[in-house]
Amino acid sequence: MTRGHTVGVIGAGMAGLACARELAAKGFDVTVFDKGRGLGGRTATRRAEPNLRFDHGAQFFTVADPLFREVTDDWLARGVVAEWIGRIVRLENKTVIDSSRQPRYVGMPGMSAMAVDLAVGLCVRTATQITAVTHSAVGWTIVTEANETVGPFDTLVVTLPAPQTAGLLGSHHFGAVASNVKMTACWTVMAAFESRVELPWEGAFVHDSPLAWVARNSSKPGRAREANCWVLQASPEWSAAHLEASADRVSKDLFEAFAAVVAGPMPSHRYVVAHRWRYGQCSEPDERRMLFDPKMGLAVCGDWLAGGRVEGAFLAGIKAADAIREHRDQELRDS
């Protein structure tokens, strides 16, 4: 019934792909656009030579919602994700405190695996940055960085971090909503060592340090243990204070902070690279999950409307898809 209704989805992170997949399953004609070369947005996996892999964005995800539980169980059954059993601690005042034992899941063999799975069978255009969107009587038209005009689409779904959503939707009311949402930066260092770093845990929430989180990436299931890969993530405060610092400077500073955490002999490193997430996480997410303007056929969703995490982003995408489908069904009944 809904075949022929076209939807353009901007962003191939968890929100965009969950939305696109749900709509495609209901017969909508969906095209997804992402500026990145790969899929997953902030559920990212960085590959580096030789044979190094780092989850430099989201570290793991947890599950609370029954629908996301169902999806995660299916991913577990098919080997798309696995539980990370490693010991996770908090480091506070030189004390090691075990963190809660709630199940933590990771993509296999990297955090982008969930996005790759969601995208199967979808029309996704990667390496396509959208620079403008316009609405007219025929629907939504999208302009790419290469100045290509795509569309029109009956419905547009924008799933970018809040500041980028605001930039794209400028004059629309949703642009104004997005412009009021603050997102914190996160400097992340990916480091590989010649041998094992001797610490009695696999991941730690760090206090009283430039670092907020460190993880033995190689301890996650499906990763090569002998690669000795670590991910070191700075606190929002430190990242904000060093937002425009050079990647080399940041690598050096955060590496030193890690040495202080290890507080003992460290094997020599063979790879250290820093990555800046300018719009890393949302400190005070709105909880509406998505915004929908049925008159214009515009939906906005993403983690900044849904708890600021992987699970929230996924559920936001599904909720946006539900709203679009319900509206379309109503239109069909009315016509």
Ligand X SMILES: Cc1cc2nc3c(=O)[nH]c(=O)nc-3n(C[C@H](O)[C@H](O)[C@H](O)COP(=O)(O)OP(=O)(O)OC[C@H]3O[C@@H](n4cnc5c(N)ncnc54)[C@H](O)[C@@H]3O)c2cc1C
Of 164 and 228, nearer to ligand X (C-beta) is: 164
Concatenating the DSSP letter of every residue in 248-314 gives HHHHHHHHHHHHHHH-S--PPEEEEEEEEEEEEEESS--SS-EEEETTTTEEEESGGGTTTSHHHHH
Q: What is the nearest approach in angstroms of ligand X to the Cβ of residue 327?
A: 22
Cα dihedral sign, 163-276-20-80:
negative
DSSP letter (8 states) at residue 99? P
| 3-class secondary-structure state, position 31 | strand
Q: What is the nearest approach in angstroms of ligand X to the Cβ of residue 15?
A: 3
Of 235 and 281, nearer to ligand X (C-beta) is: 281
Q: What is the nearest approach in angstroms of ligand X to the Cβ of residue 316?
A: 7
Q: What is the nearest approach in angstroms of ligand X to the Cβ of residue 67?
A: 16
Q: What is the nearest approach in angstroms of ligand X to the Cβ of residue 275?
A: 9
Q: What is the nearest approach in angstroms of ligand X to the Cβ of residue 5?
A: 22
Of 2 and 288, nearer to ligand X (C-beta) is: 288
Q: What is the nearest approach in angstroms of ligand X to the Cβ of residue 303?
A: 3
Q: What is the nearest approach in angstroms of ligand X to the Cβ of residue 161?
A: 5
Beta-sheet strand order (sheet of 130-136): 130-136, 139-144, 149-153
For 36, residues 6+ apart whose C-beta sits below 8 A from its C-beta are: 12, 126, 127
Binding site for ligand X (CB under 6 A): 10-16, 33-36, 41-43, 57-61, 129-130, 159-161, 164, 186, 188, 233, 277, 280-281, 302-303, 308-310, 313
Of 283 and 330, nearer to ligand X (C-beta) is: 283
Alpha carbons 308 and 311: distance in angstroms, whole number: 8
Of 10 and 52, nearer to ligand X (C-beta) is: 10
Concatenating the DSSP letter of every residue in 157-175 gives EE-S-HHHHHHHHTTSHHH
In this structure, the strands spanning 29-33 and 123-125 are: parallel
- Written as one letter, the residue type at 28 is F
Of 26 and 35, nearer to ligand X (C-beta) is: 35
| 3-class secondary-structure state, position 334 | helix
For 237, residues 6+ apart whose C-beta sits below 8 A from its C-beta are: none
Instruction: State the greatest distance between any 2 C-alpha atoms of the chain, in Å, as a whole number.
Output: 73
HSE toward the beta carbon, residue 283, CA cutoff 13 A: 11
Of 197 and 234, nearer to ligand X (C-beta) is: 234
Of 197 and 274, nearer to ligand X (C-beta) is: 274
